Amino acid sequence: MAKTGWVIFAEEQCKGCELCINACPKKLIFLTERLNQSGYPVVGATETDKCTGCAMCYLMCPDLAIKVERWTVP
């Protein structure tokens, strides 16, 4: 069975520190050119179908700006 996942960012909580970018073993997270209302650049994810739901990004984020969903595909 393959495990898969989904990552969601709370952009208003993000400070653009890039810790999650370095933490993702699949290199799915990148810094966008968007700024949140506090003026920080925010992250996004690409090729999200490759997300395994490992939650390394979630564990690394100091601002609780990441939510990870994980499920199993039969």
- Applying CB under 6 A, among 4, 36, 44, 53 the residue interacting with ligand SF4 is 53
- Tell which positions 19-38 bind ligand SF4, by CB under 6 A: 19-20, 23-24, 26, 28-29
Residue 7 CA: distances (Å) to CA of 4, 19, 39, 53: 10, 15, 22, 7
**Distance between CA atoms of residues 16 and 74, nearest Å:** 36
Residue whose pair of structure tokens reads 């898969």 in the numeric block: 4
Does position 44 interact with ligand SF4 (CB under 6 A)? The reply is no
In the complex, which residues of this chain contact ligand SF4 (CB under 6 A)? 5, 7, 9, 14-20, 23-24, 26, 28-29, 43, 45, 51-57, 60-61, 63, 65-66, 68
